[in-house]
């Protein structure tokens, strides 16, 4: 790598060159320490824990509720507490890495995440489980941006896309594989094992990190903290994510939902105004003069809306409509996982040669086609047809996970690589939350409008308004509201009506997701390779 790299944070018509000195101790020595590919292995093991916990815990929730006597609301907070802590602190955590070094923050994140996981496994109350899930989110936020910062600083530009491709493959495989592993552990060991498994993985990541990782800090890294900026940004993120989490309960027309959304907008505005005045801002707004970087952030949000929102309903479709166990449902998603595993490194190689614009646009086009195909699924659709659409979705997501990450991190200066990594992860978390909330509202609206008519058309006994509301809530997740003792023939009719109504809602939600992916195709055309990658075309090979 060269000793001095000039990074453009703007498009050619609006240039504001930013210079960052090369990291300290970057020479990939002849041993393990600082070697780029060993660095990738080390950070991938740590990141795997965080990615797995995004989905693996959902399988354990019913067992946790039964063992600890938790209510449905309590169980929701097992997921929400983790997500809220992670989303709110990602960008600030990235700044900590830029200030103190990504190696240190990565290792602290690994130790804290593994420790919090072990504490959850030893917890005997739902309050302790939720508390330690918050700590998991906080330490996970330290770990994720630091991993990207280490990759950015360690790999020469012409190898960065391939490294991010493998990094994305690990995240995709861990996220999609979570339900399978979680189902096996809960079924054959215990719900505690879902958390205990992070302890040996964390120890391995810590040992490898201590032996392999090298501290990388740019000479012009920030020397102070923008405390007011941290407070304003954290408040804005909290209010936004809180509104999205509570919207299904409060409803989108509720004053409380819009109060938090309004507070979030106000906090974002105040944050933006403050960042133009402070000497060392948390996020230099000049970053967003870069059209490719801004497009990359928007692309991550849109991709996550389409992917996370659509996949949310597919899991209910597999388990509640087709009657699959969690393990079987996870196995049916293997085409999605497999194509992400195969496609991510290949996408990294293609993006390195051709640039990100066409692969990103093509990936989102495939995602749109896959979501449209999933909107055609019916109660009797076979595994082969499902597998085609799931595989196509994985093939479309792979270049987007890799390319959008490289566009965001690669178009930021070295001294802000942690903040850029935080932006990438925060965009994905917010997009996932938006996807679940917005597509959930689409599903609820379709079910509410269709269920009463479908129920009456099937000549089933009429429901009171309260009973209809309860039935609607069940149908929104594909469950047939069959009361105990219902005659078999009537139960079969209720099940048919419930599943048909659910599939109608899922079809509309997937069509909306396809439309979002179509918009993302246009956004992808605004991206381009990071200036540091262009400069690295002639750099030496590893």
Whether residue 348 contacts residue 154, with contact meaning beta carbons closer than 8 Å, is answered with no
CA distance 279 to 281: 6
What is residue 362's predicted lDDT score, i.e. its pLDDT? 94
Helix axes 465-475, 417-457, angle to 10 degrees: 130
DSSP state of 31: S
* Res 535: pLDDT: 38
Say if residue 98's pLDDT is above 80.
no
Alpha helices in 355-416 (DSSP H): 357-374, 383-410
pLDDT for residue 147: 84
The per-residue pLDDT for 176 is: 66
CB 332 within 8 A of CB 325: no
CB 431 within 8 Å of CB 301: yes
Mean pLDDT taken over the chain = 80
What gap in Å lies between CA 449 and CA 454, rounded to an integer?
10
Residue 30 pLDDT exceeds 60: no
Helix crossing, 102-121 with 417-457: angle to 10°?
40
pLDDT digits (tens, 9 = 90+) for 64-73: 877 887 765 6
For 104-152, the pLDDT digits (tens) are 889 999 999 999 999 999 998 888 998 999 899 899 888 888 888 888 7
Task: Give the lowest-confidence range in 29-38, 341-350, 404-413.
Answer: 29-38
What's the whole-model pTM score?
0.76
Where would I find the H helices in 251-290? 255-275
* Partners of 17 in beta bridges: 8
How far is Cα 439 from Cα 431, in angstroms, rounded to an integer?
11
487 vs 466: CA distance, rounded Å: 22
Q: How confident is the model at residue 228 (pLDDT cuts 50, 70, 90)?
A: confident
Residue 10 confidence (pLDDT): 38
- Higher pLDDT among residues 270 and 30, named by residue: 270
pLDDT tens for 145-193 read 888 888 878 887 777 777 777 777 777 677 767 777 887 888 788 888 8
Half-sphere exposure of 163 (CA within 13 A, CB side): 29
Q: Containing H/E element for 417?
A: helix 417-457
d(CA 87, CA 255): 24
Residue 276: pLDDT over 60: yes
The span from the CA of 27 to the CA of 532, in Å, is 18
Taking residues 368-377, what's their average pLDDT? 94
Predicted confidence band of residue 410 (pLDDT cuts 50, 70, 90): confident
The pLDDT score that the predictor gives to residue 441 is: 81
Query: In the prediction, which pLDDT does 521 show?
Result: 95
Q: Which range scores top for mean pLDDT: 2-16, 111-125, 279-293? A: 111-125
* Tokens at 383, concatenated: 């595994």
Residue pair 284/275 in contact by the 8 Å Cβ criterion: yes
Q: What is the reported pLDDT for 444?
A: 83
Question: How large is the average pLDDT for residues 452-459?
Answer: 88
d(CA 228, CA 215): 28
Mean pLDDT of 497-523: 93
Fold of 26-221: Growth Hormone; Chain: A; (1.20.1250)
Residue 541 has pLDDT above 70, yes or no: no
What angle in degrees, to the nearest 10, is found between the helix axes of 102-121 and 36-53?
30
What are the CA-CA distances from residue 403 to residues 100, 170, 291 (Å)? Answer: 27, 15, 15
Most confident of 147-151, 208-212, 468-472: 208-212
Domain ranges of the chain: 26-221, 225-279, 291-533
- The stretch 86-106 carries a mean pLDDT of 82
Confidence of residue 19 (pLDDT cuts 50, 70, 90): very low
Confidence of residue 220 (pLDDT cuts 50, 70, 90): low
Residue 275 DSSP SS3: helix
Q: How far apart are CA 189 and CA 201, in angstroms?
A: 18
Residue 9's pLDDT is what?
Answer: 38
**What's the pLDDT band for 95 if we cut at 50, 70, 90?**
confident
- Distance from C-alpha of 478 to C-alpha of 509, rounded to nearest angstrom: 14
State the angle between helix axes of 36-53 and 198-212 in degrees (0 to 180), rounded to the nearest 10. Answer: 160
Q: Pairing between strand 17-21 and 4-8?
A: antiparallel
Residue 359's closest CA among 401, 388, 419? 401
- pLDDT band of residue 2 (cuts 50, 70, 90) is very low
Q: Could you tell me if 186 and 31 are in contact, meaning their C-beta atoms sit under 8 angstroms apart? A: no
Q: 219 falls in which pLDDT band (50, 70, 90)?
A: low
Fold: same for 26-221 and 291-533: yes
Q: Residue with structure tokens 């690589």? A: 417
Q: Which two tokens stand for residue 506?
A: 């899922």
The CA distance from 516 to 113, in Å, is: 34
Residues 476, 489: Cα–Cα separation, whole Å: 23
State the Cα torsion 215-218-219-221 to the nearest 10°: -110
Average pLDDT over residues 290-317: 84
Q: What's the length of the chain?
A: 542
Q: State whether CATH 1.20.1250.20 applies to domain 291-533.
A: yes
């Amino acid at each position: 790598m060269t000793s001095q790299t000039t990074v453009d944070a703007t498009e050619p018509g609006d240039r504001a060159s930013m210079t960052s000195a090369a990291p300290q101790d970057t020479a990939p020595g002849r041993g393990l320490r600082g070697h780029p590919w060993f660095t990738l292995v080390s950070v991938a093991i740590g990141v795997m824990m965080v990615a797995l916990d995004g989905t693996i815990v959902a399988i354990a929730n019913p067992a946790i509720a039964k063992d600890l006597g938790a209510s449905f609301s309590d169980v929701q907070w097992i997921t929400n507490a983790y997500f809220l802590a992670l989303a709110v602190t990602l960008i600030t955590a990235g700044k900590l890495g830029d200030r103190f070094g990504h190696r240190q923050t990565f290792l602290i994140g690994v130790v804290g995440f593994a420790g919090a996981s072990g504490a959850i496994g030893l917890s005997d109350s739902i309050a302790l489980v939720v508390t330690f899930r918050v700590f998991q989110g906080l330490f996970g936020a330290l770990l994720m941006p630091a991993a990207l910062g280490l990759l950015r600083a360690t790999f020469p530009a012409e190898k960065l896309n391939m490294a991010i491709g493998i990094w994305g493959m690990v995240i995709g495989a861990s996220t999609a594989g979570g339900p399978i592993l979680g189902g096996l552990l809960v079924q054959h060991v215990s719900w505690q094992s879902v958390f205990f498994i992070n302890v040996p993985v964390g120890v391995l990541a810590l040992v490898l990190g201590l032996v392999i990782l090298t501290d990388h800090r740019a000479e012009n890294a920030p020397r102070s903290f923008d405390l007011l900026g941290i407070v304003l940004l954290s408040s804005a993120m909290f209010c936004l994510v809180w509104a999205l989490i509570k919207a299904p309960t409060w409803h989108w027309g509720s004053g409380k939902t819009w109060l938090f959304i309004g507070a979030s907008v106000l906090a974002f505005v105040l944050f933006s105004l403050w960042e133009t005045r402070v000497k060392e801002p948390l996020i230099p707004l000049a970053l967003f003069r870069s059209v490719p970087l801004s497009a990359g952030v928007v692309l991550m949000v849109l991709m996550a809306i389409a992917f996370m929102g659509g996949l949310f309903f597919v899991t209910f479709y597999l388990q509640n409509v087709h009657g699959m166990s969690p393990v079987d449902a996870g196995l049916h998603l293997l085409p999605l996982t497999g194509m992400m595993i195969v496609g991510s490194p290949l996408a990294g190689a293609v993006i390195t040669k051709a640039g990100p614009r066409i692969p990103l646009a093509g990936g989102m086009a495939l995602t749109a086609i896959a979501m449209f195909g999933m909107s055609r699924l019916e109660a009797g659709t076979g595994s082969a047809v499902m597998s085609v659409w799931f595989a196509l979705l994985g093939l479309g997501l792979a270049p987007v996970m890799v390319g959008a990450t490289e566009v965001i991190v690669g178009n930021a200066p070295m001294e802000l690589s942690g903040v850029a990594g935080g932006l990438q992860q925060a965009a994905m978390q917010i997009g996932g939350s938006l996807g679940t909330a917005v597509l959930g509202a689409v599903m609820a609206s379709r079910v509410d409008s269709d269920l009463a008519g479908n129920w009456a058309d099937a000549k089933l006994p009429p429901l009171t308004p309260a009973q209809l509301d309860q039935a609607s809530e069940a149908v929104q997740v594909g469950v047939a509201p069959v009361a105990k003792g219902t005659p078999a023939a009537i139960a079969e009719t209720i099940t048919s009506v419930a599943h048909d109504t659910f599939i109608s809602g899922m079809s509309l939600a997937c069509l909306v997701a396809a439309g979002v992916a179509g918009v993302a195709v246009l956004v992808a055309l605004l991206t381009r390779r990071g200036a540091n990658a262009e400069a690295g075309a002639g750099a030496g090979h590893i």
